[in-house]
C-alpha cells in the first residue's frame, strides 16, 4: 500500500480494542486557548493530524513557545490574551478550515497585521460567514471576492461588542465571534437556530473565562483572562466513527474504542446509528477537562434505513459520509436532508459520496441538500478516489471492507490531516 492509495478486501471478522487520535476539534481549541492563557499549560491527547499541526505552527509564529513532550503531549507557554506578536510571514492553515476561521476571530483583535492562507482547497472555501460578523465588530479584513476567499489580510485592532443571530448553526462561526469578543468593548451575544458543537464554550468555562450560556445564546464580555495548567483531549468521535461503522458492517465483528469524546453536541451520529438498529454501548462514562468521555463497544448487526434531517444535522455533519456508507448496506431507504453544508467541505461531499458509492453498485441519488440511499445487501469492489478529502477516503475504505472483491481508494495521503494511523487501527482489528 502506498501513502497515496489504500487497498482493502472483503473482511469476514473484526475484533479487538483500539484508541483513536485526540479529538481534532478539541485539539484546535486546546492549542488556541492554551496559547491565550496565562502561564504554562500541558495539553495531553493532542491529535497528531496535520490540521492540528498547522494550528501549533501558527501560534509558534505568533511568539508562543510550544514544546512537544511526548507522542501526544505538548507544553504551551501561554502568552495571555494580549501577548501575541506580529508574525514575520504568512500564517499557513493548510487544509484546516477550523484553523483559518477561528484564527480570523483571534487575529481580528490583535494590535498588528497578519495574513492567513491555506492550500488550494481551503482557499476555495467560503469565509464570508465569518468575515461579515467580525467586520460588524470593527474588524478590518480583506480578501478575494470581497473577503469571501482566502488569503485573508487582517489589520487587527480594538473591536466593539455586537449581537448576532446566526442564520445557520456553525461551531466555527460561533467560536470565531466568541474569540473576537474577548477583545471587544462590552458584551458580545451569539444565538444559533439550533445548537452546534460546544467545545469552545466548555473549554472556556474550564479555563475560567467570563462566558455565560443560556437559552438566549452565548454572552462573552471583553477582557478577563484564561487560567489552567492541564487540558486533556479525549479521543475523536469523528475518527472513531469509521471504526464503529466497520464494526457494524463486517459480518463477525466486536470492536471497542477506548476514551472517546461523547459530547452531546457531537453524538447525533451515535443516535442515528441506534435508530438504524445498531448494537452500540457506551461504557465507563466520565469527564475530561469539561468534556464527557466513554468507551464505545459495537457489535455487527443488521441496519435499517432512517430519515436524517433537521436539528440533528449540525451534530453529525462530519459523520454524514460514513453514515452514507452504513445506509448503502442497510435494509430500506435512508434520506439525508438539510445538509447543504456538505457541498462546501474539503470537497463537495454529497457529489463525492454519491459518485464513489455508485461505482460499487449502491443505489444512491444526490439531492441539493443531501442524498437518498436505497440500501442493498451487498456491494461490489471498485477503484475509487477521495477527491483529496480525508473523510471520503476513510469512508470508501470502510465500504470496501464489506464489498465483494478488492477495493482500491486512490489519493489517500489526505488521511493524515486527521487520522494518520487509520489503516494501522483497521489492520489491528483484522488480527
Query: With left for phi above 0 and alpha for psi between -120 and 50, is residue 223 left, alpha or beta?
Result: left
Three-state DSSP class for residue 210: coil
Of the candidates 157, 141, 56, which has an alpha carbon nearest to the alpha carbon of residue 99? 56
| Structural contact between residues 235 and 421, judged by C-beta atoms closer than 8 angstroms | no
Of the candidates 420, 361, 351, 362, which has an alpha carbon nearest to the alpha carbon of residue 386? 351
Q: Is 318 part of the annotated catalytic residue set?
A: yes
Q: How far apart are CA 103 and CA 179, in angstroms?
A: 9
Contacts of 85-88 with CB under 8 Å at 24 or more apart are: 85/112, 86/110, 86/112, 86/113, 86/114, 87/58, 87/61, 87/62, 87/114, 88/61
148 half-sphere exposure, CB direction, 13 A CA radius? 5
Strands (E) located in 270-405: 279-288, 291-299, 307-308, 333-336, 363-367, 370-374, 383-385
- Choosing from 185, 318, 348, 363, the catalytic residue is 318
Q: How far apart are CA 158 and CA 231, in angstroms?
A: 29
**Strand-pair category, 363-367 with 370-374:** antiparallel
**C-alpha angle with apex 102: 108 to 342, nearest 5 degrees?**
135
| Structural contact between residues 329 and 373, judged by C-beta atoms closer than 8 angstroms | no
| Structural contact between residues 360 and 381, judged by C-beta atoms closer than 8 angstroms | yes
Map grid coordinates 463537495 to a residue. Answer: 348
> Which residues are paired to 178 by β-bridges?
none
Active site residues: 318
Amino acid at each position: 500500500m502506498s501513502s497515496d492509495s489504500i487497498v482493502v478486501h472483503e473482511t469476514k471478522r473484526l475484533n479487538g480494542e483500539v484508541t483513536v487520535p485526540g479529538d481534532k476539534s478539541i485539539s484546535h481549541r486546546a492549542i488556541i486557548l492554551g496559547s491565550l492563557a496565562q502561564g504554562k499549560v500541558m495539553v495531553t491527547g493532542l491529535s497528531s493530524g496535520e490540521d492540528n499541526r498547522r494550528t501549533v505552527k501558527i501560534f509558534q509564529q505568533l511568539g508562543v513557545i510550544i514544546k512537544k513532550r511526548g507522542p501526544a503531549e505538548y507544553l504551551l507557554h501561554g502568552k495571555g490574551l494580549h501577548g501575541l506578536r506580529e508574525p514575520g510571514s504568512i500564517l499557513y492553515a493548510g487544509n484546516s478550515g477550523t484553523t483559518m476561521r477561528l484564527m480570523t476571530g483571534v487575529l481580528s483583535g490583535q494590535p498588528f497585521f497578519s495574513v492567513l492562507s491555506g492550500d488550494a482547497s481551503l482557499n476555495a472555501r467560503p469565509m464570508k460567514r465569518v468575515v461579515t460578523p467580525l467586520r460588524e465588530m470593527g474588524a478590518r479584513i480583506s480578501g478575494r471576492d470581497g473577503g469571501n476567499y482566502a488569503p485573508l489580510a487582517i489589520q487587527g485592532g480594538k473591536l466593539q461588542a455586537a449581537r448576532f443571530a446566526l442564520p445557520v448553526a456553525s461551531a466555527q462561526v460561533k467560536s470565531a465571534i466568541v474569540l473576537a469578543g474577548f477583545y471587544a468593548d462590552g458584551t458580545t451575544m451569539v444565538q444559533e437556530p439550533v445548537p452546534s458543537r460546544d467545545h469552545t464554550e466548555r473549554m472556556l468555562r474550564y479555563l475560567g473565562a467570563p462566558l455565560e450560556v443560556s437559552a438566549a445564546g452565548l454572552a462573552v464580555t471583553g477582557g478577563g483572562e484564561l487560567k489552567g495548567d492541564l487540558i486533556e483531549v479525549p479521543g475523536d468521535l469523528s475518527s472513531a466513527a469509521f471504526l464503529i461503522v466497520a464494526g457494524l458492517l463486517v459480518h463477525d465483528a466486536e470492536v471497542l474504542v477506548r476514551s472517546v469524546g461523547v459530547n452531546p453536541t457531537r453524538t447525533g451520529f451515535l443516535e442515528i446509528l441506534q435508530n438504524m438498529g445498531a448494537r452500540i454501548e457506551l461504557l465507563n462514562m466520565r469527564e475530561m477537562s469539561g468534556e464527557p468521555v466513554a468507551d464505545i463497544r459495537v457489535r455487527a448487526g443488521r441496519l435499517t434505513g432512517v430519515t436524517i434531517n433537521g436539528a440533528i444535522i449540525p451534530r453529525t455533519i462530519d459523520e454524514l459520509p460514513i453514515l452514507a456508507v452504513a445506509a448503502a448496506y442497510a435494509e430500506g431507504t435512508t434520506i439525508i436532508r438539510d445538509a447543504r453544508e456538505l457541498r462546501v467541505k474539503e470537497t463537495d461531499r454529497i457529489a463525492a459520496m454519491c459518485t464513489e458509492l455508485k461505482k460499487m453498485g449502491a443505489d444512491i441519488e444526490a439531492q441539493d441538500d443531501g442524498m437518498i440511499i436505497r440500501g442493498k445487501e451487498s456491494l461490489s469492489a471498485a477503484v475509487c478516489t477521495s477527491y483529496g478529502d480525508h473523510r471520503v477516503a476513510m469512508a470508501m475504505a470502510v465500504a470496501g471492507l464489506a464489498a465483494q472483491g478488492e477495493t482500491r481508494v486512490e489519493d489517500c495521503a489526505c488521511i493524515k490531516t486527521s487520522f494518520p494511523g487509520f489503516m494501522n487501527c483497521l489492520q489491528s482489528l483484522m488480527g
